[in-house]
Structure 1
Amino acid sequence: MRFLATLLLWLVTTVALAAAVPAMWVQQTVISEDGYASLAASAATDSRLQDAMAGELTAQVIALGADNGYQLNPVLVSDVANSYTRNSGFPGQFAQANRIAHRWMFTGAVPSGNSTDEWLIDVAPMLSDPSFSATLGSLDLQVPPTLTVPITVDTPELQPGKLRWLATWGPWVSIGAAAFTAIAALLTLAAARSRGKALTALGVSALLVGAAGWAGIEIANRYVEMGLNRTAGTIRVVAETMVAHAEDSLHWWLNCTLIAGVALVVLGVLGAVVGGVARSSTAGTSPGTAMRSR
């Protein structure tokens, strides 16, 4: 009966861990505005994203000049844009632009100038960078306070605040899943006859979850591709790079889970060996043996 109880608790712990790891990752990396901004800043160090944003900024500057009666040199503007996206200040400004996009999806906050339901990113702060303003200033061309670029095509499936429910419940779900997993693991240890074997079993749980997570990412890629098809223009490359860095982040979490699993297995095996040696030593020193030794 005790074995069955331990087995059931182990299964519950494994399932809970399989839910807790992705839930915590989603909360920390996607739902959290700071986490999403950090992801964007990390992606902004990728040359693919830098090239794509340089192309988008070039197009916006040329269009802005045309609207004000100026015919700008595309090569010159492109050189300025490429220089800007490779300077140290670009990741921070790109992260700030993505904070605004994040609020659109998770809180429903709509940037000024957005008259549609498209998911937009505001590039005006980037064009206000000194490297651009110096070029534009010679033409007496002022960047407007807001200059938005669509991230996705206009679709009724994407509305402001579409993921507000995740922002509300995400923190509670991630904390609850982590707490439930910890409680289930402690109960498994308490119910087991051998703590060493229980630790080993918990390590196997972590290994299973880590491996399943890697497999799950591969399966999910087809659905991610469908989502990327909703992006527009050079923003497609930006979105692909963001997704790639998000996958790298999730891989890191799964690798930590695998490492923790290996550590628990090693500790469990060592604990089982030490416990076996201790029991053998105790059994060998029986009362009869002690009397004969006297």
Structure 2
Amino acid sequence: MRFVMALLLWVLTTVLLAVAVPTAWAQKNIVDQAGYSAFAAAAAKDPQLQQAVAGELTTQVRTLAAKNGAEVNASLIRGVANAYTAGPMFPGQFAKANEIAHTWMFTNQLARDENGSWVVDLAPMLADASFQETLSQFNVKVPQTLTVPIAASAPEALQPGKLRPLAVWGPWVSVGATVLAGVFALLTLVAAKSRGKTLAALGVSALLVGAAGWAGLEAARRYLNNALNHTSGDIRQAADAMVNHAIANLHQWLNLTLAVGGGLVVFGVIVAMLGGLRRRPSDR
């Protein structure tokens, strides 16, 4: 009976841990607005993303110039854009530009232009001093708001306000699952007869969760690619870079889970061996 109880508690611990790891990651990096801004700023250090944004900024400058009847040196503008996106100001301004997209997904405030497109605002980037000096040479003025469509038609899951329930319940789920996983892990240790074997079993739980997470990400990549197909051009390249950054970041969490699991297995085996050595003299 004690073994059955310990086994049931171990299964529940494993399930809760499988919920806790991805939900805690999502809450920290995606759902929370401040966390998402930090995530976007970190992603902005990716050269692929920098090149994609530089290309889009160049396109927007040429469009603004054309509206004013002016011509610009595309190579010059691209060089300025490349220097800007590789500079220290870009990560923070890129994060700010992404806040409007986060508002679209997680609130009922519609981050749309007059055509109903899902957008980001590039005006803060073009208002940077590194651009202004060059743009003034061509009499190009940047408007206060310069929205650029991310996708003309967002997928159903990313319609405005669709993810609002995640913003409301996400913190409760992530914290609750983490706390319950810890509680059930302790209950498993209490219910089990062998502490060493139980520690090793909990380590196996972490190993299973980490491995399942890696496999799940590989399976989910196809669905992510389908979502990215709603974007195109430089915006697609930038979105792809952000997805790659997200996957790499989640891999770090899963690797940490695997490392903790491996450590618990080794520690549990050592505890079990020491327990066996202590019992031997009394058995004789």
TM-score bracket, normalised by the shorter chain, equals: over 0.9
Q: Any conservation in 1 of the 2:71–2:138 contact (CA below 8 Å)?
A: no
Structure 1 residue ranges (4+ consecutive) displaced by more than 4 angstroms after TM superposition: none
Aligned to 2:235: 235
Percent of pairs with identical residues: 56
Q: Any conservation in 2 of the 1:150–1:232 contact (CA below 8 Å)?
A: no
Q: By how many angstroms is 1:42 displaced?
A: 1.6
| Residue 144 (1) aligns with residue 161 (2) | no
Aligned to 1:226: 226
Aligned to 2:7: 7
What is the alpha-carbon distance in structure 2 between the residues aligned to residue 156 and residue 239 of structure 1? Answer: 14
Equivalent residue runs for 1:16-95 within 5 Å:
16-95=16-95
Give the paired residue count.
283
| Residue 259 (1) aligns with residue 256 (2) | no
TM-score, normalising length from structure 2?
A: 0.95
Q: Any conservation in 1 of the 2:80–2:130 contact (CA below 8 Å)?
A: yes
What is the alpha-carbon distance in structure 2 between the residues aligned to residue 3 and residue 230 of structure 1? Answer: 52
SS in 2 for 1:234: helix
Aligned to 2:114: 115
SS in 1 for 2:120: strand
Aligned to 2:183: 183
Letter in 1 for 2:219: I
What is the alpha-carbon distance in structure 1 between the residues aligned to residue 211 and residue 135 of structure 2? Answer: 52
Spell out, residue by residue over 1:194-231, the C-alpha distance to the aligned partner (whole angstroms, 9 max, x if none). 11111000000001111111111111111111111011
Bigger CA radius of gyration = 1
What is the alpha-carbon distance in structure 2 between the residues aligned to residue 125 and residue 281 of structure 1? Answer: 75
Aligned to 2:123: 124
SS in 2 for 1:151: strand
Letter in 2 for 1:39: F
TM-score, normalising length from structure 1?
A: 0.92
In structure 2, runs of 5+ residues without a counterpart are none
What is the alpha-carbon distance in structure 1 between the residues aligned to residue 161 and residue 229 of structure 2? Answer: 21
Letter in 1 for 2:205: S
Aligned to 2:100: 100
SS in 2 for 1:150: strand
Q: By how many angstroms is 1:155 displaced?
A: 4.2
Spell out, residue by residue over 1:26-79, the C-alpha distance to the aligned partner (whole angstroms, 9 max, x if none). 111111112211221122111111111111000100100111121111111111
Letter in 1 for 2:264: L
Q: Any conservation in 2 of the 1:185–1:202 contact (CA below 8 Å)?
A: yes
Q: By how many angstroms is 1:257 displaced?
A: 0.4
Spell out, residue by residue over 1:116-151, the C-alpha distance to the aligned partner (whole angstroms, 9 max, x if none). 432211000000011110111233332101001111
Q: By how many angstroms is 1:156 displaced?
A: 7.0
| Residue 202 (1) aligns with residue 208 (2) | no
| Residue 159 (1) aligns with residue 127 (2) | no
